[in-house]
Structure 1
Amino acid sequence: MDEIVTKACRETEIYLRNNVDGILIENMHDIPYIQSRDFQPDTVACLARICTEVKKITPPNFPIGLQVLAGGNKEAIAIAKACSLAFIRAEGYVFGHVADEGYIDANAGALLRYRKTIEANDVQIFTDIKKKHSSHAITSDVSLTETAKAAEFFLADGLILTGISTGSPVDVKELNDVKRNCDLPILIGSGITSENLCNYREANAFIVGSSFKKDGLWMNELDEMRIKNFMDKLFML
């Protein structure tokens, strides 16, 4: 656990040095993922410790978010509240889907009621819609735009668009369609690189993972030069 905390803090320092606007913490390497109903207490405990240590070394009011894989939206809200984080990345917010881990049911109603119960309404919820690594055959008659409208109606704070898998780019047409029909902030949640950055000017934020790693592979170590080049291009937009 100490090694994981040390690595998380070291990566945070690299991000801060390169002027990123915020950090999203995620148990990405905790594979194979399990659904929240199968979580053991150590999942929440370990993530809470990581978030606490990262929070200590970041400036006041620096946005830090959390995603708990897989589908651990309530757990993420609880940790975010306890650790004074700014937001969570949620999945399965509206409309059910079949993910790698099995069927994920829609959970917006229960999640927002839980957020209110623990007085965590200051924690924003940015949700994936028709998320990556999932089958959406059961909602094939519901467009991405209609899914976005449903998430807005169910009081999400922002929407996350992705490609079909980690590192896959978002369809620019889909971004533009959702932007025209929805008033929520839109985040690009996969496949963003320094090369295609200019295609996504309509987005409000980018969640960058693979592109910041050596050789652009999510499982590799951070590559500070790749981060610097990306941020330099971002600031020129």
Structure 2
Amino acid sequence: MKWSNLFGHAKCAVIGMIHVKALPGSPLCRMKMSQIIEEACKEARIYRDTGLDGVMVENMHDIPYSLSPGPEVTACMTSVCAAVRSVCPSIPVGVQVLAAANREALAVALASGAHFIRAEGFVFSHVADEGLVNACAGELLRYRQNVGAEDVLILTDIKKKHSSHAITSDVSVAETARAAEFFLSDGLVLTGISTGVGADPQELAEVSRATSLPVLVGSGVTAENARGYLAASGLIVGSHFKEGGVWSGPLSSERVDHFMTQMRRLRT
């Protein structure tokens, strides 16, 4: 399986989020690219030195997000990811480009040597705060084949956060998971309703029963509730690692270290 080849046999792999500072062209951009890259590498070093299993780079500060980010976003994210890869040569590095810029994320991964992407809107349409996001599995996997990025894993959100799923209200999360597996997803990401809100452990159990794919929890994981997610293949942690538990704050090495100490106990 691609997941185990990448993450080995790590039980409930922990992936730390690197929320890249606002990139050139976005309304909140206040830094030069050299500063943006250095900030990302600083966080990568903390994650590496505290023993995380992987990191993921995301343009989280590029609010408000666009469904058609410009070429400068792909170029800048490639530079950031390449720098993070050099800091973390021995652990998997992933990338997500907001919003739902999955082809761009694959291009970034291919050019920078990243190992996986997180994709929105892989199966079924939904209404996100950026607008209507349509399913992309067919086009995305053909693009991956065409550019020779078959080794890049595509981890796909199902019933993703910050979205209305009224148009697919008759499709359960388990059915969505089965559809993603049928459409050749490499792994599933389960979330709460918004950033920092935990996923439902019952939904985690339901999705895990419905599919043979690795299932990751992608929001709201904390040192206090991690025990309830141990059945997951991985935990994507962002907000909890920041000062005060706020996603936009600076990364706290103490919070990361405390979490990983807790996880080592839980894993054994």
Tell me the SS of whatever aligns to 2:57: strand
User: What stretches of structure 1 move > 3 A for 4+ residues in a row?
Assistant: none
C-alpha distance in 2 between matches for 1:180 and 1:155? 17
- Once the two structures are TM-superposed, the CA of residue 114 in structure 1 deviates from its matched residue by 0.3
Confirm or deny that 1:225 pairs with 2:254. yes
Residue type at the aligned position of 2:39: K
Among 186, 189, 199, which residue is 2:218 paired with? 189
C-alpha distance in 2 between matches for 1:47 and 1:115? 18
Among 15, 19, 34, which residue is 2:66 paired with? 34
- Once the two structures are TM-superposed, the CA of residue 41 in structure 1 deviates from its matched residue by 1.4
C-alpha distance in 2 between matches for 1:42 and 1:67? 15
* Farther-moved stretch of structure 1 (51-60 vs 145-154): 51-60
The number of aligned residues is: 234
- For residues 133-183 of structure 1, give each alpha carbon's deviation from its aligned partner in whole angstroms, at most 9, with x where no partner exists: 000000000000000000000000000000000000111100001111110
Asked which structure has the greater RCO (Cα within 8 Å, sep 6+), the reply is: 2
- Once the two structures are TM-superposed, the CA of residue 55 in structure 1 deviates from its matched residue by 1.1
- Aligned ranges 1:62-211 → 2 under 5 Å: 62-211=91-240
**What is the match of residue 242 of structure 2?**
213
C-alpha distance in 1 between matches for 2:233 and 2:70? 35
**What is the match of residue 74 of structure 2?**
44
RMSD: 0.7
Residue type at the aligned position of 1:98: V
- For residues 22-62 of structure 1, give each alpha carbon's deviation from its aligned partner in whole angstroms, at most 9, with x where no partner exists: 000000001110003xx2211111101101111112224x2
Q: Identity, % of aligned pairs?
A: 54
TM-score scaled to structure 1, two decimals?
0.98
C-alpha distance in 2 between matches for 1:115 and 1:78? 9
C-alpha distance in 2 between matches for 1:69 and 1:97? 15
C-alpha distance in 1 between matches for 2:251 and 2:87? 18
Which residues of structure 2 form unaligned runs of 5+? 1-32
**What is the match of residue 57 of structure 1?**
87
Among 23, 39, 54, which residue is 1:7 paired with? 39
Which residues of structure 1 form unaligned runs of 5+? none
- Once the two structures are TM-superposed, the CA of residue 67 in structure 1 deviates from its matched residue by 0.2
Tell me the SS of whatever aligns to 1:79: helix
- For residues 203-232 of structure 1, give each alpha carbon's deviation from its aligned partner in whole angstroms, at most 9, with x where no partner exists: 010000000000100000011111001001
C-alpha distance in 2 between matches for 1:93 and 1:59? 29
- For residues 44-85 of structure 1, give each alpha carbon's deviation from its aligned partner in whole angstroms, at most 9, with x where no partner exists: 11101101111112224x200000000100000011011111
Tell me the SS of whatever aligns to 2:170: coil
Residue type at the aligned position of 1:29: H
C-alpha distance in 2 between matches for 1:59 and 1:123? 16
